[in-house]
Amino acid sequence: MAILDHPERTPSKPARASAAGENRPGVMNISEPHARSAADCVAALYARPEGLDSAEAGRRLAEFGPNRLPEPSPRGPMRRFFAQFHNVLIYVLLGAAFVTGILQHWVDTGVILAVVVANAMIGFLQEGKAEAAMAAIRDMLAPHAAVLRDGTRTTVEGAALVPGDIVLLEAGDKVPADIRLIEARGLAAQEAILSGESVPVDKSEAPVAADAALGDRRSMLWSGTLVTQGSARGLVVATGRATEIGRIGGMLADVERLTTPLVDQMDRFARWLSFLILLVAGLLLVYGYFVGHHAFGEIFMAVVGVAVAAIPEGLPAVMTITLAIGVQAMAKRNAIVRRLPAIEAIGSVSVVCTDKTGTLTRNEMVVVAAWTPEGEFVVDGEGYAPEGRISPQGDLSRLARAAMQCNDAGLSLKGGQWHVEGDPMEGALIAFARKVAGGVAETVRRLDAVPFDSRHRFMAVLTEGAAGRNVLVKGAPERVVRMCREADVHGWHLRAEALAR
């Protein structure tokens, strides 16, 4: 990346789902839209460039359903509470409480039941918090979308989108459904949730090969991804469960449920403990009655007392409290643990498998170095927080001005965390500029702009402020250096290569 600072637009009945595998809610009769022209896709969905009319949109919504991701069957409070008792050791404790109750040992019965109920309450409350957090982040679709209805632009709920709608998108918008592009101007999208790649993908309306991989389908925008730059007009080709992210959600619903190591060990321990307690109690009963010649009622009461005493009533409570403490520690690090036993399973992980880029990350970018004619500068700091030290001392004001003003992204503080709206790289440039300027942004007015395009590989803006009018440019180093009248082209190429290593 190089930065230059230089002063101075009546559907018929919709097609039905085909027999070729498209028979899913939220999808109409269209296959491989990425490989077909935009006009063919519009015709296949009986849509129009000026959008559906309200009546047709309502009919399609009733037929194909709302544009929402599938949700798992909710567990009610009672079901979640009684699930806390589904443990072999808890069954043993309840059995012990039943026996002591029959024997009218009410103190022992009360203590055992109190331990069991306290254990269940801790797990119930902790999992309730996790369920609420999961519900808050489950909605991956955009809450609103700008569409063409009855020939005019209007904003609708994301759930009201239907196949055949014409959607208008701009930088910073979340894509509300799977969309076939009709028009694209300097468009790029962040598809990390699908591909794991942190770099935005350039998009265009041109068809691609039918067998192109998901990440190479440049003529498509996918539900849940983010438009980082440019503007677009597109045709909704799939909604809800029929989208790519909906398909992934359906696959996750079919994943086999596995027990955690701790739960498995506790189940085996409880079975062996129950067997040993019953075995020892039986041997004591036989010995006391046939060898010791004690009265049966007397020896039976003694054996029951020994058996109840051998049961570790506090073990489930101690285990639950320990797991709850671990869950709270993870929550402070912004990690949601839905089931208490899962916290122990995390500690059993010895190998983590990722893709080639290792993008099990926060999908953030940060400026770590800057190179100017005055020399190289090292930039400290983490994420998008505009806080960090730059060394050595030097004048980077012009570089910071270009980084801040030749930029379409936004940086904001939400819930104590800095977030970027737009391209992650541009967000990193804003954070860098604020580090240089001490967090103070210069007030300027943008008069004109040349959006970044992969063909010319630069962005330029004309601004007006207290220092007058300025033309600011950023782009690929080899492109920006050629714009300079006095520059050591070969030397700058070597510097760029050295920074890229």
pLDDT at 236: 94
* Inter-axis angle of helices 88-102 and 106-137, nearest 10: 150
CA dist 290 and 284 (Å) reads 10
Q: How many Cβ atoms are within 10 Å of 501's Cβ, its own excluded?
A: 4
Nearest to 119 by CA among 148, 83, 95, 159: 83
Plot region of 397 (φ>0 → left; ψ -120 to 50 → alpha; else → beta): alpha
Total length of the chain: 501
Measure Cα distances from 138 to 68, 142, 178, 280 in Å: 10, 12, 18, 51
Residue that is written with structure tokens 């036989």 in the block:
286
Collapsing DSSP to helix, strand or coil, 306 comes out as: helix
Model pTM score:
0.52
From the list 150, 216, 264, 355, the catalytic residue is: 355
Nearest to 449 by CA among 472, 421, 477: 472
pLDDT at 136: 56
CA dist 254 and 252 (Å) reads 5
Q: Identify the H or E element spanning 60.
A: helix 54-64
pLDDT at 182: 94
pLDDT at 409: 81
Nearest to 92 by CA among 262, 265, 276, 286: 276
Query: From first to last of its 501 residues, what are the pLDDT tens digits of the chain?
Result: 555 444 443 344 444 433 333 444 455 567 899 999 999 999 999 898 889 999 999 999 998 888 887 666 666 778 878 877 777 777 777 877 787 787 777 887 887 788 788 878 877 877 777 666 656 555 544 478 889 998 888 888 888 999 999 999 988 788 999 999 999 988 889 888 787 777 788 899 999 999 998 888 999 999 988 888 888 999 999 998 888 888 877 666 555 566 677 777 777 887 888 888 888 888 988 988 888 888 887 787 788 777 777 777 667 767 777 777 777 777 777 776 766 677 777 777 777 776 655 445 566 788 988 888 888 899 998 888 888 888 888 888 889 989 998 988 888 888 788 888 777 888 899 999 999 887 666 778 888 888 877 777 889 999 998 878 989 999 888 888 888 877 677 777 788 887 776
Q: Identify the H or E element spanning 278.
A: helix 261-286
Does 423 participate in catalysis according to the annotation? no
pLDDT at 15: 41
3-state secondary structure 170-193: ECCCECCCEEEEEEEEEEEEECHH
Plot region of 284 (φ>0 → left; ψ -120 to 50 → alpha; else → beta): alpha
